[in-house]
Structure 1
């Protein structure tokens, strides 16, 4: 399972108004482990950023003037995401910019190069309806430190989102540890040994435990003047 956690910074809000991407950052997660492999580039958009966008990322026209253009980085970028599932916070925003850049150079949409796209914002809203689900809010909720995030940066935000995404999805797939093993450790024997090491012991209750449990249930029965929910569950099993 290969995920690419991706983020972009742009000159404004809408590529239809001529706005462009100024930074792409992407982090590789393989088998729920951050590998350390990443993609990052600044891009010359051949235009100024809107004041609002500049206030978010701080990438000035002067700073970007000697950076490569998207067409010069497209092959490396597409090779990095090839075959992976993209994890993007508020994915429609980044996708419309990436697809606009690809269209300008006569290339197919980004979804033709990856295995799919998951919007982590939609997932967060499902888990935490009615709550703030910005990246900053999720970092606070899941204990991911973002103290060093004075301005938005595509690579920094991708790294933060990778930690948040792993925390949000922990336990959904397996109880495996969030680390990536090198290919030589991926043999059937090694996987079997790891699964054995992670097997949870089954501890049966003693006679004293069962007696204490029965006394507790009797107390619950008395408090509800009937059968407590546990008794009702036992009769339906």
Structure 2
């Protein structure tokens, strides 16, 4: 199954009060294995950048002023997303900003049925524990030493690793599903499938000898007899 892990950076916390999305990063996974395909873009929000937001992601208004507006690249983004499930950390936040940008340029919002929230998954798996992306990276031993500031693509790449751990661990990528998605289901018997007894018409094989013959035992006795103070004779 194809899934997109994504993250956004914004000018603030609430698109309803005029905050805008300024960066998006997406990572493609098939069968919970990263394919190497990504999508990353910055956007000119046509507004100022509050200092508190800039301290989080380091994106200044001057830097973003040179970037395209969302309307100019929305077709590329939607082509990458296709109709795949979208996975995000605290996904309601990212969906809110993404859908706000889509609506501003006359596109239909993305259905929340496609939303997968890793905070919800983490809360079920680790109740009472810290659920931030940093905390989950620490829990699962994922290297985040290069994460000085928030960045949409970097955070999506880290989240992809966290998502694998939250949904079964690294062993899920060791099968054939990464090469052949159909094998992922074909190799797994249905829970309701009837159990079949192994065939009984196989040719009968004579049992193989599993003990030493008298001749072998005699040769062993002679060999041991030639060893001075052998421990087997004590």
TM-score bracket, shorter-length normalisation: 0.7 to 0.9
- Other-structure match for 1:67: 67
Query: For 2:184 and 2:111, how far apart are their aligned partners in 1?
Result: 32
Query: For 1:147 and 1:179, how far apart are their aligned partners in 2?
Result: 32
- Other-structure match for 2:204: none
- Other-structure match for 2:12: 12
Q: What secondary structure does 1:56 align onto?
A: helix
Q: What secondary structure does 1:12 align onto?
A: coil
| TM-score relative to the length of structure 1 | 0.73
Q: What secondary structure does 2:116 align onto?
A: strand
Q: What secondary structure does 1:110 align onto?
A: coil
Match of 2:150 among 149, 152, 171: 152
Q: CA deviation at 1:189?
A: 10
Deviations 1:166-225 (A, max 9, x none): 0111169x855178644699699999xxxxxxxxxxxxxxxxxxxxxxxxxxxxxxxxxx
- Other-structure match for 1:124: 122
- The answer to whether the Cα contact below 8 Å between 2:27 and 2:39 also exists between their aligned partners in 1 is yes
Question: What is the alpha-carbon root mean square deviation over aligned residues?
Answer: 2.7
Bigger mean CA deviation after superposition, 177-186 or 67-76: 177-186
Q: Which structure 2 residues correspond to residues 1-237 of structure 1 after superposition, within 5 A? A: 1-111=1-111, 116-170=114-168, 175=172, 177=174, 181-182=178-179
Q: 1:166 to 1:184 in 2, by over 3 A?
A: closer
Bigger mean CA deviation after superposition, 42-51 or 131-140: 42-51
Larger proportion of helix = 1
Query: For 1:91 and 1:155, how far apart are their aligned partners in 2?
Result: 15
Contiguous gaps of at least 5 residues in structure 1: 192-237
